[in-house]
Amino acid sequence: MKYIVLAITITLFTSSYFVLTTMYEGGQSKGAERIVLQ
């Protein structure tokens, strides 16, 4: 059970980090468009 929670936490952290870096690099509008496309 611990490993499942840990895996979910890592996945959420990495995905949110990826979204933030994408928005920071590509700008607000481009980052939002990429999120919608996914």
Q: What is the pTM of this model?
A: 0.48
Ordered DSSP codes for 1-38:
-HHHHHHHHHHHHHHHHHHHHHHHHHHHHHHHHHHHH-
Q: What is the pLDDT of residues 2-38, one digit of tens each?
A: 999 999 999 999 988 888 887 777 665 655 566 666 5
Please give the pLDDT value at position 24. Answer: 74
Please give the pLDDT value at position 37. Answer: 63
